[in-house]
């Protein structure tokens, strides 16, 4: 009996990444995740059979070491790579603007670029549309951000990588991007912030992680969708 190929989810222990991890586990799908900080949920995921790898994506060496460990853990290859790991750093804080830009490019551009280059060869099979790569970009790619300039620019670069890798890896691997706006709140978000955020979209809700899970399921099941960015913004682009 052949082994089931695992799905790699970077940043798979928090928020949407965690929701995706738990979703695939519930389906009996093997999952490998990266994590930066060992939260208590890591032990729970390990007990559920998830392969959890501590990874430092702040350097190319850390990214390449993660890729090496993935190859060691995946003798049958990979079913998909979901690039969920992200940071949200604004200009004007304690970190210099130059360092902010470097950090944003490292996590949102260099990391997925290097991982795709390293792991595409073991993703999918020889059959068309047998493997998938999913990039998480952001709604701000479409409109920019005066408070998170480097963040928005790096996510825009990741959006462009989607199309380039789709061309390079077709027809064996489909490559798509998901560009969300507000999906779920943090527990510490107060009522005033929540209402202000909800008013920015036409739908006026925070739809929750299931909205992203349904879309990822579609992308992985499709035999035809590739090189596209799928916006999940509640009509915010029309406001």
Tokens coding 135? 């990039």
DSSP for residue 92 = T
Please identify every residue annotated as catalytic.
151
Q: Which helix (H) or strand (E) holds 97?
A: helix 97-105
Bridge partner list, 34: 53
Phi, psi of 131 (to 5 degrees): -135, 160
Strands (E), the chain: 7-10, 31-35, 51-54, 80-83, 131-136, 173-180, 229-232
Residue 109: closest CA among 162, 167, 48: 162
Which residues have CB under 8 Å from 93's CB, separation 6+? 100
Residue 176 vs residues 106, 187, 219: alpha-carbon distances, Å: 20, 30, 8
Letter string b/e over residues 53-65, b meaning 16 or more CB atoms within 10 A of that residue's CB = bebebeeeebbee
Separation between Cα atoms, residue 172 and residue 120, nearest integer Å? 10
Tokens coding 163? 């199309």
- 234, 207 Cβ separation under 8 angstroms: yes
């Amino acid at each position: 009996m052949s082994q089931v190929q695992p799905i790699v989810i970077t940043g798979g222990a928090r928020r949407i990444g965690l929701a995706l991890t738990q979703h695939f586990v519930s389906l009996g799908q093997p999952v490998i995740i990266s994590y930066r900080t060992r939260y208590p949920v890591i032990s729970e995921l390990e007990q559920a059979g998830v392969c959890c790898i501590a990874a430092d994506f702040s350097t190319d060496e850390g990214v390449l070491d993660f890729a090496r460990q993935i190859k060691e853990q995946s003798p049958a290859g990979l079913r998909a790579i979901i690039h969920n790991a992200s940071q949200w750093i604004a200009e004007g804080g304690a970190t210099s603007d130059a360092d902010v830009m470097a950090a944003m490019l490292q996590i949102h551009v260099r990391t997925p670029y290097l991982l795709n280059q390293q792991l595409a060869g073991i993703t999918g099979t020889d059959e068309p549309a047998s493997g998938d790569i999913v990039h998480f970009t952001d709604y701000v790619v479409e409109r920019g951000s005066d408070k998170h300039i480097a963040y928005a620019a790096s996510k825009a670069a990741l959006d462009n990588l989607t199309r380039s890798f789709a061309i390079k890896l077709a027809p064996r691997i489909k490559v798509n991007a998901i560009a969300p706006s507000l999906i779920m709140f943090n527990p510490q978000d107060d009522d005033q912030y929540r209402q202000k955020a909800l008013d920015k979209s036409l739908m006026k809700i925070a739809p929750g992680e299931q909205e992203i899970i349904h879309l990822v399921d579609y992308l992985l099941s499709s035999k035809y969708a590739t090189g596209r960015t799928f916006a999940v913004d509640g009509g915010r682009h029309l406001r």
